[in-house]
Amino acid sequence: MAAPGNVGVRSSLKALSQSINRPSITLAAIVLALALGAMRLPFLEYLRPIGDFYIALLKICVLPFLLSTIPLAVRSAMVGGSAGGTLKSLLIWLLIALITVSAVTALVTSLIFHYLPADEHMIANVGALVGHSTDSIDVEFAIDPNGMPQSTVGMETGIFSVIPTNIFAALSLNDSVRVLIFAVIFGIGMVMTERQSGHSIFGALRHVQAVCIVIFDWFNLLVPIGIVALIAPQIALLGPDAFTVLALFAYAFLATSFLLLLTAILLSALSLRVAPATVFAALLKPMMLGASTRNTLICIPTALETLKDDLKVKSEICDLYIPIGFATIRFGTILYFIVTTLFMGALMGRSFSLIDLGLVAAFAITASFATLGLNGIAALGPLAVVLRPFGLSYEVAVPLMIIIDPIAEIIRVMLNVVINCMIPTFARSVRFGK
Amino acid sequence: MVAGIIMLPRRAAARVLGVIAITTCIVVFAPPSEATEISSPIAARDLQSIIDAKILRVAVTRFDLPAFHAHRFDGNLIGAEIEMAKQIGQALGVGVEFIENADSFDAVVDLVASGSADIGISKLSQTYARLRHVRFSKPYITLRHAMLFNRAAIARDANGQPPAAVLQKFHGRIGLTANSAYVEFAEANFPAATLVEARTWEDAIESLLVGKVDVIYRDEFEIRRILKNRPTLNVQFGAAAIVDQYALLSIAICDTCSKLQEFINYHLERTKNGFTLKTLLDSEIGK
């Protein structure tokens, strides 16, 4: 049992954190970051180490938090006897969300490119941009099939890449997917042995979780500074020339993203029967933490706190879905891959039928899973899976996407956070098979 | 005609006989035809004969090879290859005469093989066919073979695979310069492809742009130079480098000139000449 003094300290810390992270301050920090970034002032590069330091602080407790939260969530679901129903409900809503996000993205983007087609001038500018940003050789091959070095030798592929064969190695490598899978399997095993022997370490895990939350509360005091230090240099990376050339892509990507963000907030409000402004204000903190750190996993504790404390979503559902959903379901990447594919189609004069759009959406969902464990530019690799079946050049797309990635990465993480947060709100209100 | 001669006065007949005799002499003592010469080059030609003649005859293509050699506005030749030829001449202590009437790369080799030139410098690749007629120096630069390909056309054949998979076993239409080493290279490396030989490299590029061919084939410098000078092509066209095929750009040397070959190799080894892909691409003459 916690001492009254400790509880008082923690609640005052929480109150201070809430005061510092109230929507008005968060929004002001975003506006300041955007304005500084747009001005492209030289001193912004000096903010980058501050931002990196902030991200490093936030990462301290992510894996211990996952290792404690997931077994607790598994136990909560299994002991309560609602595991089957909760899982079924979450899976169905997840499937609906995946289909809806990909379908809306494909349709809205294709409509945008239909009414705002790429003209010759823009294609010429994009070509020039690609030419200046690459070394001009985009494919290397050998006439002798044995002439190319095998770069993938020794790499684990497919299902083996997510099996936690060595949990300690996974922890040391920050391999969150393997850690998650281990935590789920270990959580199920712990519940079963608890039933047999009566012994358990769930109490200790609950304590570890509480410690992690306290540490996150400390670092949350720095969120506004983190937003400015991380977003401003990132915005400054994107020069006005690049934006002018890639304006069509940016319009489609931003328009579709904000449409989906808005829809997710509205649907969450509808599901929770609260005002959209309330949901927006609550989700602003995890959303902006994601935007500034460009790391979805870091937002897990804040998102859980927001959903459970501010929006009153059932703890059991949130604890079960949010860590797994944040680590594995990348709505932002799905949207990004679809928009990129349709943009490349517009550049190269390829049109898409409805069946093509469906296939683009399906390939984008599949490719998004291949980005697990990857961040930033490395996560663009699986884009080839979406582009190549339609005869579109991955080699042209990558340099363009690298140029716009500083902004796109921010939006992708915001989408991951908000849409993943929407799913437990639905699973809470509508339970299938009940 | 015979009757005509008989009918002519003695003085006129003597004049006609004189013309016949001169013509016969010209036919007999004139240099043999190119084909004959390739099979029997002048045996004495080598380093000493060049020094004795005080002139090094250097064959180059009539057309410019940007970054390698080009004609200045006043008609004079400039470029890294021209400088290299002048340096060799200087090292030999002789003057340099450029023979610039070759319409193709093979024609430069033919001029050397026929004895009309002592050496040939025009971005010449060593090939089996050429080595039958001339010697080559050590390469002064080695460039990877490369292709510029129509992305959409290659993607159609790729069936979801990377473009390299299609290019490696390319069976479509390849554009290249006629009478260049790349005809031999293409026949060896892409036996299933149809070769479309263009008169000039510019014609080959044009055939790619209008869709007559899906790929053009040459060395990495030429492919990268196209994209460097016309970056807008990057959207539709991609560049591929072949990592195990190299163009060994060397100086063609007359077949009997073993001492000259040794001399040139020593010179190349000593001077290094500064031929690199980057310097060539950055060269003002390359633009």
Return the percent helix, strand and coil in chain A, to nearest 5. Answer: 80, 0, 20
Q: Give yes or no for residue A150 having a pLDDT over 60.
A: no
Q: What is residue B21's predicted lDDT score, i.e. its pLDDT?
A: 54
CB-based contacts of A427, cutoff 8 Å, min separation 6? A86, A89, A90, A93, A317, A321
| Burial annotation B48-79 (CB, 10 A radius, 16+ → b, else e) | ebbeeeeebbbbbbebebbbbbbeeeeeebeb
pLDDT higher for B4 or A339? A339
A contacts of B241 (beta carbons < 8 Å): 137, 139-141
> What's the average model confidence in pLDDT over B227-248?
86
The distance of B181 to chain A (nearest Cα, Å) reads 17
Q: Write down the pLDDT at residue B33.
A: 41
Q: What is the mean pLDDT of residues B29-46?
A: 48
Angle (CA) B223 B226 B228, round 5°: 105
The 10s digit of each residue's pLDDT in A66-89 is: 888 888 877 777 776 666 777 788
φ, ψ (nearest 5 deg) of residue A242: -60, -40
Residue B234 has pLDDT above 70, yes or no: yes
What pLDDT does A405 receive?
A: 77
Residue B225 has pLDDT above 60, yes or no: yes
Return the percentage of chain A with pLDDT > 70, whole number.
85
State the best of A134, A135, A143 to mutate against chain B, taking most chain B CBs within 10 Å.
A143
Of the candidates A290, A277, A303, the residue with the CA atom closest to the CA atom of residue A227: A290
Residues of B with CB under 8 A from a CB of A: 146, 149, 151-152, 155-156, 158, 160-164, 167-168, 189, 220, 223-224, 227-228, 231-236, 238-245
Least confident of A31-40, A168-177, B180-189, B201-210: A168-177
Distance, C-alpha B162 to centroid of its chain? 34
Residues of A with CB under 8 A from a CB of B: 123-128, 130-132, 134, 136-145, 147-148, 347-348, 350, 384, 388-389, 391-396
How many percent of chain B have pLDDT more than 70?
83
8 Å CB contact of B163 and A395: yes
pLDDT at residue A83, as a whole number:
65
Q: Which of B152, B164, B243 shows the shortest C-beta gap to A348?
A: B152
pLDDT tens by residue, B52-98: 889 999 999 999 998 899 888 888 888 889 999 999 999 999 999 99
| Statement: residue A255 has pLDDT above 60 | yes
- Among B155, B158, B243, the residue with its CB nearest the CB of A141 is B243
Most confident among A88-102, A112-126, A378-392, A420-434 (mean pLDDT): A88-102
Is there a contact between B238 and A139 if contact means CB atoms under 8 Å apart? yes
pLDDT computed for residue A288 by the predictor: 87
Hey, are the CB atoms on A137 and B162 less than 8 Å from each other? Answer: no
Report the pLDDT value the prediction gives residue B58, as an integer from 0 to 100: 95
Looking at per-residue confidence, does A333 or A128 come out higher?
A333
What pLDDT is stored for residue A243 in this prediction? 66
The verdict on a CB contact (< 8 Å) between A142 and B228 is no
Reported ipTM: 0.74
Q: How far does the CA of residue A239 sit from the closest CA of chain B (Å)?
A: 19
Q: Is the predicted pLDDT of residue A418 greater than 80, yes or no? A: yes
**Mutation target vs A (from B168, B235, B236, B244; most A CBs, 10 A cutoff):** B235
Q: Do A26 and A284 contact (CB within 8 A), yes or no?
A: yes
pLDDT at A377: 64
* CB atoms A131 and B231 under 8 Å: yes
- Supply the mean pLDDT for chain B: 83
Q: In Å, how far from its chain's centre is CA B176?
A: 14
pLDDT tens-digit profile of A182-241? 888 888 888 888 888 878 888 888 888 888 878 877 887 887 888 888 778 877 766 666
Tell me how far apart the 2 most distant CA atoms of chain B are, in Å.
89
What does the pLDDT average to over A412-427?
Answer: 91
Q: What's residue B119's pLDDT?
A: 94
Which chain A residues are within 8 Å of B168, Cβ to Cβ? Answer: 141-143, 145
Q: What is the mean pLDDT of residues A283-298?
A: 85
Best residue in A135, A139, A144, A392 for a mutation probing chain B (most B CBs within 10 Å): A139
B234 CB neighbours in chain A (<8 A) are 126-128, 130-131, 134, 136, 396
Buried b (16+ CB within 10 A) or exposed e, A349-363: ebebeeebbebbbeb
Say which residue, A30 or B199, is predicted with more confidence: B199
